[in-house]
Amino acid sequence: MKKIGLLVSTLILSLSLFAACTPKKESKEPAKEKKEWVVATSGTLFPASYYNDKNELTGYDIEVVKEVAKRMDKKVTFKEYNVDGMLTSVQKGSADFAANDFSLSDSRKKKFILSEPLKYSFGSMIVRKSDQSGIKSFEDLKGKKSAGEATTNYMKIAEKYGAELVSYDNATNDQYLTDVANGRTDVILNDYYLQKMSVGALPDIPVMILDDLYFNPTENGLLFSKENTELKKEIDVTLGEMKKDGTLAKISKEFFGADVSVKPDVKIAEDIKIEE
């Protein structure tokens, strides 16, 4: 009996020491209560997130976030990733949200949510000026080299129509457009307003937007994990105030030359469904 008593006492002591030595799980501060936000972005997506001539990070999404932070009395640190890196950082919590002209595919809706729309838009195609890259219909994408980041919906649409995918990792707009112009690639499927501004900013590169093959209306906003709904709700309130007082329209016109915070009046040729 004494041996059993000794064993029990030893076991209790061991468990007590283990509990004392085991580090407590660190409680994570709710994002909405933080004094500083970490925001994921690319820094290469003109005019949503890019570096200006003064080497300053700016763009529509960036300046909207700065204004939201100012109104909510927060500081902001921007961290740059490619698309997959942004999604991972938001999902893992190393970034509070992402600001990079995001829309939600059906697969992303399982893990992420968007703020109230910052921008309404639709898809378009950039091709060579000389021959329109031989594209006059969606079916003409078959066999063409389509440039973009590997996991985007735009690349999935190109693949659906039989295009050969040429993947880039966080490349700049001039690289994308130059490669179309010199024939390394044939077409870029992406957001219309982003493409319009890119082509306008680089007029010496002989590319153009096909004006009769618009597709897939989109709503773009700040991207949050599904666990971060409270911060999303608070930011939505501030975005609503900015829309109501005209601030969102003002920032939009500065970067897009148009008010992208309202739905555009354009003819959409196709609403293309893709497999997730």
Residues near 80 by beta carbon (within 8 Å), at least 6 away in sequence? 40, 41, 42, 43, 44, 170
Give every CB contact of residue 153 below 8 A, 6+ residues apart in sequence. 103, 105, 216, 274
**Predicted confidence band of residue 25 (pLDDT cuts 50, 70, 90):** very low
Write down the pTM of the prediction.
0.76
Q: Selecting from 3.30.870.10, 3.50.50.60, 3.40.50.2300, 3.40.190.10, what CATH number does the domain 35-120+219-256 have?
A: 3.40.190.10
pLDDT band at 56 (very low <50, low <70, confident <90, very high): very high
Q: What is the sign of the dihedral through the CA atoms of 252, 224, 84 and 54?
A: positive
Q: In this structure, are residues 235 and 222 in contact, taking their beta carbons and an 8 Å threshold?
A: yes
CATH fold label, 121-216: D-Maltodextrin-Binding Protein; domain 2 (3.40.190)
Distance (Å, rounded) from C-alpha 35 to C-alpha 37? 7
Percent of the chain clearing pLDDT 90 (strictly above): 79
- pLDDT category at 31 given cuts 50, 70, 90 is low
Confidence category of residue 276, pLDDT binned at 50, 70, 90: low
pLDDT above 70 as % of the chain: 88
Question: Assign residue 79 a region: left if phi > 0, alpha if psi is -120 to 50, beta otherwise?
Answer: beta
Q: Looking at 105-109, 136-140, 167-171, which range is the least confident one? A: 105-109
Cα–Cα distance list, 237 to 34, 39, 113, 130, 189 (Å): 17, 18, 15, 47, 33
Find tokens 């959409």 and name the residue: 268
**Spatial separation of the C-alpha atoms in residues 272 and 217, rounded to whole Å:** 10
- Is the pLDDT at 267 greater than 50? The verdict is yes
For residues 173-180, average pLDDT = 96
Q: Where are the domains of the chain?
A: 35-120+219-256, 121-216
Question: Could you give the CA distance from residue 101 to residue 78 in angstroms, rounded to a whole number?
Answer: 15
Q: Is the model's pLDDT at 11 over the cut of 90?
A: no
Domain 35-120+219-256 identical in fold to domain 121-216: yes
Provide the pLDDT for residue 67: 98
CA distance 274 to 276: 6
Q: How far apart are CA 73 and CA 67, in angstroms?
A: 10
pLDDT digits (tens, 9 = 90+) for 129-138: 999 999 999 9
Checking if the pLDDT of 84 tops 60, the result is yes
Give the Cα separation of 249 and 229 in Å (integer): 25
Q: Looking at per-residue confidence, does 232 or 31 come out higher?
A: 232
